[in-house]
Every structure is written in structure tokens, then in C-alpha cells.
Structure 1
Amino acid sequence: MQRIYTIITGFILFFGGLQSLSAQSDYATINGVFTEKATAEITIVEKSTNRSIAVVQSFKDQSQDCFTVRFPVVEDSEYLMKVLLYKQGTRRMELENVMSYPIKPKAGGVEAYSIKPSVLDQTAMTGVTVVKTLKPFSSFNLTGELKHSLTAGQLTLSKVVNGQLQPVQTLNIDARRPAFYFHIPITEEGFYYIGNLGWHKRIYAKPGDSLSLFIEGDSHELQWEKTNKENDLLAQWHGLIEPITNWGYERTIVNASKLDPDAFTANYKQLQPAIKNFMSLVSGPNATFNRLLKTVMAVDNQFAAMKLFFYASVKGAKGYVGMPKEFRDVPVYFKDALLRNAVTSSRIMQVGEGRDYLDLLTKFSLVTIEDSKKDQLTIAERLQVMIKAIPNDTLRAIFLNDQLKSTEINNLREFKATFGPLEKYATTPEAKKRYKEAYGNFLGDTAYLGKSAWNFSLPDTAGKLVSMKDFKGKVVLIDVWATWCGPCKAEFPFLREVEEEYKNNENMVFVGISTDKLEKRDAWLGLVQKEKLGGVQLLDDFGKGFARKYGINSIPRFMLIDKQGRWEEISLPRPSDKNNLKKYLDEALAAKAS
């Protein structure tokens, strides 16, 4: 009797009727090769009289030159192969070129194409060529079927790149097509993840593998029909740790209100001997898999606890609480166990949870500091503590790279104070590039610092023109906002708190500048009255007199003018970060006027 391992998942899809996994005769296959290095997306679009849908999307990075997709062919439908080319932008990948190429796939047929990115042109229809055959490439297949599900959606297979998931293919699943078929180029064995935006499940694939599974919608179970020895053992591991992962470990969004830290702690402690024994028994002919499985076990055992207690930090909070910022109320047992057994091998970057685990591990290192002292730490001091939790130069470089992307920095002064001491950890090309780009993002703002701010005048609520010259000898905090800007309005209560603390300081002036159009003046006046905005309120007609002059393309923006009427800083912390903002105000107030 074939052994079937069942794994709890959070996958919910709809379909009507069942279809045998072997009934793939109505599927067409498209193979392709890029003759030049490119980051690209290949999308097969099905067009019928009443709809147009992307049936499959294949994502290709520069490490590979080939792609292959397999999809069901519907009679009387037309098909396009869209080729989307991307280039690296300042902060993210940006679309560079798009071409739609008509194709005529046949059920059971195979077509091959050669793509040359440098000459891809929609008008001339160049860059895509039909070829008879392609050089063979290694791949693996993952077929499956969705059973008794409730809603339609996408199913994505992702690979692991530097500790995080990178989509390889996405299929659109609907009522007519309960079966799915992933055909993936592969050069090295490793972990892949199947799922959607709400969940993911880990599998293991090697070149030449042909795997199949069922996804049971009503019970949310994943069942193997055809597996390999690696997935056999991996499924046993997933089953073993189910008592400490069934709270939502594999879900993208965690419902903090349903977490039970006490029950988790009891299960965790009880399970540790079995986990230790299971890890000691891992052996077999595949040494690569053995090493990776042991890494996955160590990460799961740690990350399941860290992730639960991280989200439990906001349990009991009212309304939408979003992502927690730090750990709170972690039991003493876990403070010791999770730091003592931290996984700090660079091998964690071969696991899809690696990057997230590294992020939580460094945040977790702060639990050793008393909450009262921790709350007083600057961002720079926090990062110094966090990076010391990683005794591995490769992981330190990855941590620095990620913090450069995620840490909120307002200006060059803050950047130097925060990341200057960490520059020595930028030891990889990725981290060096990220550091240089982040530094450069603030250089443009410095062109205004120390320069006169008396070069504009705007009307106030009574229509009277107000110039910054009117506040000579005073420190001026400017809030750039608009009536349509939600984040701007969210800062109003915090701004009122700051104004209240400085209301008796005659050297402090608060100015609000709205970028609403002149024709929206009544709406602006109405919101000023409704929110009881203090200080001096000015209207900058669609940014014509002020915002455009200073290159302000996102709001809210808080800016500071010193007593000499010069720009002290043109990007400050928001009032919601009151203590940090007050440092700038107090420093400017303490300075002598010339």
C-alpha cells in the first residue's frame, strides 16, 4: 500500500468536478531560450469572447537562460505569449520592454522559441523566433489536483534565493481546470515552496524528479501521490512538528488574537526530545539533502517559537495592529533556549524562511535588555546590538543589506549616525551596492541645507501672503500635507501634542503648508477648522510656490528652518516619532541667533 503523508495547509481554491492527474493530453508545452542574459517574465494569455486571462506566468532571472511552461488548451480560444523584460531600478526591478507574440498551441503539442532581448520590438515583431528544437535542459515536474475546494485563485511554485522565496511559475486555477502542472528548469537540487499569497508549503526537488500531489480544499490537507525519498522524510518532519506549527506558522498573515502562548510552550517543551531524536536519525545516500534537512529542522524549531511570540506581542490590542515592531513578554525559557541554540550558519539562506528567521533572530537579541532601557535606545544603538547576535560575516552583510532597505531614515545626518558604524559589514557586492545607493538617496537634500528659506510666500487662511521672513529669529517647523493624504492626517494628533509642549516658547513657530489645488480652498479651510490645526496654515496651489521648488514628491514632509532663516533640515522625523523630532527642535532652539 502506498504511503501518503498528510500535511495541514491553509490552501482554499474552488473547482467543480475531478480530473485524473494522468489526463494531461489537452496540455500544450512551450519551451524557450534567451540568447542574452535577462530578467524576464513569460506569460501565456488565453483570449476568448468574454475574457482574457493569464493562464501561466513563468519568471526567469539572469542565472538561467531557458524556460518551459505547460498549460491546458481550450478550443476556440486564442493565445498570446507576452515577454516582459525588467531592469534593475534605483530601488526595485522596473519594466523595460514588453512584447506580445501570437501563438497557436496544440493540445499535446510542443513548441520552441528563441528570444533575443536586445532586438525585442512589438512594432517590428522582432526578437522572438520559432525554432525546431532546443538544446536539452534539466527540469522537474510537479503535477497535482485541487479537490473539493471553495474559491478560485492562483497557485505559485517558488524557489529559494538568498533565504527568501522567488516565484518560478504561477498558474491560474479555475472550475474547469482542477489539475495543475508545473514544469520547471532546474540545475541544482533544493527546497521549493508551493502555495499562494496566504500560505506556502515546502517540498524538495532534484533534476529529473516527477512528483505529484493533491490539495484537499475542505480539510486544507496536502497529500503526496507520487513522491521521492527526500519528500518522504520531509513529510515525516512536517508531521512531527505539527503541534508547534498548527497555529499558522506557514501562513503569511497571522491572527494574533487566536494565539495561545501557554499551550504552545507546553507543546514545544514536550516535543523537544522527539525533535532531538529525529535529527539524530537523519542519514541516507543524499548528503546534500541531509545537510539541508538538518538546517531546516533547526530553523523550524527556532522560527516557529520566535514567530509566535513576535505576533503574540500585539495580542489583545484593539483594531488592526499590523506587524509588531519588537518582542514583548517572552517567557524566560525561550529567552535562554532560542538565543543559546540560534542557527547562525549561512546555510539558512538555502531555506525559504532564512531571511525572515535572521530578521527575527536579530530582533530577539534585544529581549536581553530591560524594556525601560530598550525604549531609550536609538536606532543606531539597536542595530549595533542586533548585528552582534550574528557571528557570521556573510549573514551580517545580508542583515545590513536588509536594514538599509527597511529602516526608516529621514536624512543624511541620520544615515551617517545609524549606518556609518556598520559600513564595515558591507562585505558582499549586494550590501556594498545597497549602502552606496542608500547614501546617495540623501545627497540631493543637502544642497538646500544652510541656504536661505526666505524665497517663497504663500497665502494663509485669510488670503494674506506670508513669508518666512516674517519669522526671523524664530525656529520654524513646516508640515507639508494635503486634504487627500491619509498619512498626513494621521499625524495631526501627534503634531498637536508637539505644539502643546512648545506653546509657551515664543521662539518656536509651527507652519502647515497644504499642496491642495487653489480650487480646493474650501475643502482645505474646512479640514483646518475640523482638525483644529494650530500655528500658521498656508495654501501652496498644487505645489507651484513651494513643494515643486524643493523637489517634494511625497508627503507628509516635515522641514525645519533655523533662527537665521536657513534650512536646518528638509526631512525630519514625523510627530508620531515625537522624541526623535524634539531632538531637532530643541537643538535648533538652543542655537544662538546671529
Structure 2
Amino acid sequence: MTKNKCRQAMAVLGLMALSFSAKAAPPSVIQGKINQENVQNVYLFTVKEGKMQEFASTKVGADNGYVLGLSSVEEGYYYVSLNKRDYTRLYLKQGDQVKMDMEAEARYQLAAPSVENKLLMEWAGKSLELRRIALMTKSDNSGYKSFFERFEQLEKEAKGIKAKATTSNKKFNELFKFTVDADLELIGLSFLYTPHSSHPTKEEYPAFFGKVFQPNKYADGKLLKLGEGEKLMGFYATWGMMNGKPINGKMARAERWKLVTDMFGNDTIKAMFVMNDMRSIKSFDELAELAAPYKSMFTEAQLEEYKKHEKSLHTFAAGEAALNFSYPDINGKTVTLKDLKGKVVLVDVWATWCGPCKQEIPSLKALEKEMHDKDVALVSISVDVEKDKQKWQDFVKKEALTGIQLFASGWSEITKFYDIKGIPRFMVFDRNGKIVTVDAPRPSNAALKPLLEKALAK
């Protein structure tokens, strides 16, 4: 490493050290040389629910050196890449100092590797070539017979290397054994699903493939700790449909989701499959109906992704399905839009601190009196924050507000879904929970009453 690079590394570590107290854990550092031309960046990926997420990056210096300094590391797998296509798997703990020289095609050298990374290096050395062939990052014309011979040899070597997972880090030992088995599945299934000039019959498959399908697969959730977890889940779902319960004819999507999710013993992995498959759904109504049985399985990140896709399908045009909002009323009882089916629903999004909202209250009360014998539900949804809940309750009682009074605890789902940037906001939904308009006239505008009457007449 040149003097300039040494100074760069010391500066990185020095700045990081300033942010730590004397008792804090030391930073983790990955540094080394890039033995390949035209590489400008080194990328580090972490794992979130079976997928790689970019965690850090650094520029490669003029002397081909690089330094990645990490102030906080959650123990587990990380992936280093020079091109965001080929990845090298590492196991990192807080304070690890990794000297890693890299070249093309995910080949690397570690100086004084930790016991965990020593095992990972050994497994990578045995499996990398076959992995690259299976995942089509290396061309190979030897055919499936040659591949199967090499695969069966790798399977034998896998047993030996798993037996070496006896480090003092029991957490790693179990994860590593699972990783080796998962890598074998990924390599094997990837090869079978990749187009070739000729393909084997099932009778020609190695015995390994007869053991792949298992009930309650991945129940312990270790698959979520692999950056390749989502990819393997998809391959396994296809394998299960081909080799599990017999399928007669073309399946509807709901049947397929039920069939596949029943293969897995982990709710987050079930949800992962649903999340992947839902991306091809182009109808809001279809998405909402199909996803309903699985939404309770979604993690926070998955639910956020689902909402983004759901929203992308919505133009908020008349006749589209409305959001089935769900909020507590002033007595703590949850009320949803579906609970109001059969009525035309006028929603008022407001807050006690909103002057224009309060100016509409007399007109809203007058409208309610005029429509009291009609099938119209007037729903007021407060976006006051949680700490002001008592203020909201007191205001409702003081002003004798009637209708259905709901509390949303801030700018929550309904405001995000309908892109509400300012209040008051009035929206009208028909008897079947479909949108009439998400930007209705205010009660002080005489146009609102005819709009409600027109919706009632349909």
C-alpha cells in the first residue's frame, strides 16, 4: 500500500474513532488491492430478508487499493462486488479487520482470515466454478452428464466441509452448514432451469434432487440470512410445483399462491413468494383480493413494498376500489370502509389544529341534518398525532361532532395512499366501496350535496 493509501486508511479510521467512546466496539475494516483493470468502485452488500442491499461503497485508489470502514456491523453474511454482478460472500463481526485482495469473477485472497471466513473461502474454492456454470456467468458446453458428475463430486466434498464447522461460533456453524446445502440446491436447480442444447430426463437426475423437496421447507428462517435466499426460494417454488402435489390443468393465481406458500414453514418466506409474484398483477382489485390472506405475514419492509405496488396500480379514477381504511372511533372500536358497505360514504380528513377544517364544521353539521334519513355515512378522520388524542376527544365532545369520528394517529395510511398533502380533504365512496371522487367539494360548497345524491341514486 502506498503512503497516500496508508494516510487515507488512517484518516478513515481516525474519523471513525472520534465517533466512538472508550467503551464502544471498534470499527470493522475491509481493505486490500484490486488486481483487475478498469475497476473504479468496491461495493459491500448486506442481507435483508433474503436479498442483497447495498450497504457501503468506496472508490478504488490510483494504486488499486481500497478501504471500507464500517462503524457498525450486524454479525452475519456480507457480499463484496466489483461490478454488482459477481459477489464474494464474507462473514463479518463487529471489529473484524479483513485484508482482501480481489480480481475478476469473484476470485479473492484473504490474509489471515477469521475461522469463519477460512471455511467460506474453502467452500467458495470448491463450488465457484460449478456455480458460475449453473448461473450462466461462465460458458460451458460439456453437457449435463459432465455437470452431474462434477455436481455429485461437489456434494461429497460438501459433506466433508460441513464436518469442519466446529468453530467456537455456534451461530456461524449452523448457518454455514445450511449455506452449503442451500448453495448445492441453488447450483443444482439453476442448472436444471437454464436452457441447454439437451436436457436430462428425471431418471437421469442425481439422487440429490430426490431429497430437495421437503415439507415445511426453510422453517427456521436461515434462508433469509442468505443474499441469494430470494432467488433460491423462487427456484424451490418451481421445483415444488413440478415435483410436489400433482397439478391438474392451469391453476388460478390464488390456487398457486396457496399451493406454494403451503410448501414453506416460515411466514416471511411465504410472504416473499407472494411479494415476488404480485409484481406481475396489473389490477388493483385483483391485488387487494389476492393479498388479503397474506398481509398479516408481511414484515414492515414487505408491507411497505406492497403498498407501493398497490398504489402504483391506482389512478384514483371513479369506479376503482377504495382503500379499506381501518381506524378506531372515539370509543376505541375499529371501523373500516368495508363495515360501511351499502352506504354512500363521505370522508373528511381533518385535524383539530387546522383552521380551514374547523371552518367547515357548521356546513358539515348542516349537511348531516339534511342527509340524516339517507344511506349516507359521514366519516371524519383526524390526523392529529397520538400525543394530542385527548385534545381530539375533548374537541369532539365540546363541538358535539356527530357522524363517525375516527383517529388516524398522524399522517398515516389514508393520507399516504391518497397523496393528501393538505387538509381538509373530502372524498366520496359509493355503496360498494368504490371511488366516486377523492377530491370532493367541501361542505360549504353547494356542489357536494348533489354529488352525494347522485351516488345514492345509482
Percent of aligned positions that are identical: 17
2-side partners of 1:226 and 1:338: how far apart?
Answer: 36
| 1:338-396 deviation digits (Å, cap 9, x = unpaired) | 2149544302211211122112211221212799956x233333322221221222321
2-side partners of 1:445 and 1:315: how far apart?
Answer: 46
2:192 is the alignment partner of 1:309: yes
TM-score in terms of structure 1 length: 0.47
Change (3 A) 1:316 1:384: farther
| 1:175-197 deviation digits (Å, cap 9, x = unpaired) | x2311111112343211111122
Corresponding position of 1:447: 318
Corresponding position of 1:211: 98
1:235 aligned to which of 121, 131, 135: 121
2:248 is the alignment partner of 1:363: no
| 1:109-128 deviation digits (Å, cap 9, x = unpaired) | x4579xxxxxxxxxxxxxxx
Corresponding position of 2:259: 385
2:284 is the alignment partner of 1:412: yes
Equivalent residues of 1:191, 1:350 under 8 A apart: yes
Question: Where does structure 1 lack aligned partners over 5 or more consecutive residues?
Answer: 1-18, 31-68, 71-109, 114-131, 318-326, 451-594
1:394 aligned to which of 264, 268, 271: 268
Q: C-alpha displacement at 1:300, in angstroms?
A: 0.8
Q: C-alpha displacement at 1:145, in angstroms?
A: 0.6
1:289 aligned to which of 160, 167, 172: 172
Equivalent residues of 1:244, 1:304 under 8 A apart: yes
Residue type of the partner of 2:119? L
Equivalent residues of 1:139, 1:183 under 8 A apart: yes
| 1:56-107 deviation digits (Å, cap 9, x = unpaired) | xxxxxxxxxxxxx57xxxxxxxxxxxxxxxxxxxxxxxxxxxxxxxxxxxxx
Secondary structure at the aligned position of 2:5 is classed as coil
Secondary structure at the aligned position of 2:291 is classed as helix
2-side partners of 1:419 and 1:329: how far apart?
Answer: 36
Equivalent residues of 1:154, 1:173 under 8 A apart: yes
Q: C-alpha displacement at 1:438, in angstroms?
A: 4.4
2:39 is the alignment partner of 1:152: yes
What is the correspondence of 1:430-469 to structure 2 with a 5 Å cutoff? Answer: 430-435=301-306, 438-442=309-313, 444=315, 447-448=318-319
Corresponding position of 1:479: none
Change (3 A) 1:140 1:424: closer
2-side partners of 1:220 and 1:401: how far apart?
Answer: 29
Residue type of the partner of 1:202? R
Secondary structure at the aligned position of 2:123 is classed as helix
Corresponding position of 2:31: 143
Change (3 A) 1:234 1:257: closer
1-side partners of 2:313 and 2:200: how far apart?
Answer: 34
Change (3 A) 1:372 1:354: closer
Change (3 A) 1:190 1:386: same
Residue type of the partner of 1:428? T
Change (3 A) 1:394 1:423: closer
Change (3 A) 1:182 1:428: closer
Equivalent residues of 1:155, 1:170 under 8 A apart: yes
1-side partners of 2:106 and 2:89: how far apart?
Answer: 15
2:78 aligned to which of 192, 200, 206: 192
Equivalent residues of 1:157, 1:194 under 8 A apart: yes
Equivalent residues of 2:241, 2:247 under 8 A apart: no
1:273 aligned to which of 153, 156, 163: 156
2-side partners of 1:197 and 1:206: how far apart?
Answer: 23
Change (3 A) 1:134 1:238: closer
2-side partners of 1:270 and 1:28: how far apart?
Answer: 43
Secondary structure at the aligned position of 1:390 is classed as coil
Q: C-alpha displacement at 1:258, in angstroms?
A: 5.2
TM-score in terms of structure 2 length: 0.59
Corresponding position of 1:429: 300
2-side partners of 1:200 and 1:245: how far apart?
Answer: 12
Residue type of the partner of 1:156? Y
Residue type of the partner of 1:184? L
Q: C-alpha displacement at 1:426, in angstroms?
A: 2.9
Equivalent residues of 1:401, 1:430 under 8 A apart: no
2-side partners of 1:449 and 1:209: how far apart?
Answer: 54
2-side partners of 1:138 and 1:448: how far apart?
Answer: 58
1:168 aligned to which of 49, 52, 55: 55
Across the aligned residues of Structure 1 and Structure 2, the Cα RMSD in angstroms comes to: 3.9
Q: C-alpha displacement at 1:213, in angstroms?
A: 2.0
More strand by share: 1
Secondary structure at the aligned position of 1:401 is classed as helix
Secondary structure at the aligned position of 1:24 is classed as helix
2-side partners of 1:260 and 1:185: how far apart?
Answer: 47
Residue type of the partner of 1:293? F
Question: Where does structure 2 lack aligned partners over 5 or more consecutive residues?
Answer: 322-458
Equivalent residues of 2:73, 2:92 under 8 A apart: no
Q: C-alpha displacement at 1:201, in angstroms?
A: 0.5
Equivalent residues of 1:142, 1:212 under 8 A apart: yes
Equivalent residues of 1:159, 1:167 under 8 A apart: yes
Q: C-alpha displacement at 1:140, in angstroms?
A: 0.8
Q: C-alpha displacement at 1:417, in angstroms?
A: 5.6
Corresponding position of 2:223: 348
